[in-house]
Amino acid sequence: MRHVDFSPLYRSTVGFDRLFTMLDTLGQPEQPAYPPYNIERTGENSYRISMAVAGFDEAELAIELNQHVLTVKGAKGEEPNAGEVLYRGIAKRAFERRFQLADHVEVRAAHLKNGLLHIDLVREIPEAMKPRRIEIVAAQKAEAPKAIEAQLIN
């Protein structure tokens, strides 16, 4: 697929930068399906990402947030050889999974329990950006404009 350059549109639009960035990412190849994950809504403004990372411990996982992109990486360390493996069904491969976060979404906590990595997110909209009600006041009779007198200096 050809890459479309949206840079001329950046000059004539305000506030649509993220929209054009999302359109740019549509042409990129899809992420691999490993590890599987769920995204849940746990409250009005709270969310949770749960990833199945069986076999990984806390030291082998890394979570990073950079410019609205949450990146979860996992890399297995060398395990002591306990014997000959006849069948390997548990994946030991490294992974990197990225999530695009909306504006004002913050990562609150992350914990690993029973092979699931839970990342708790909260969306906090600043007071200045929340909708507010504007009172309408009845217009009073306009008074005649006052004239300002000035003396001319010759």
pLDDT band at 141 (very low <50, low <70, confident <90, very high): low
User: Under CATH, to which class is 31-77+92-126 assigned?
Assistant: mainly beta
Q: What is the mean pLDDT of residues 13-31?
A: 58
User: Residues 116, 52: contact at Cβ < 8 Å?
Assistant: yes
Domain edges within the chain: 1-29, 31-77+92-126
At 9, the amino acid letter reads L
- Provide mean pLDDT across the span 19-47: 73
Whole-number pLDDT of residue 34 = 79
Say if residue 80 is preceded by a cis peptide, omega within 30 of 0: no
Q: Is the pLDDT of residue 12 over 60?
A: no
Give yes or no for residue 28 having a pLDDT over 90: no
Using one digit for the tens of pLDDT, what is the confidence trace for 58-86? 888 999 988 888 889 988 877 667 678 78
Q: Which of 43, 19, 47, 38 is nearest to 97 (CA)?
A: 38
pTM higher than 0.75, yes or no?
Answer: no
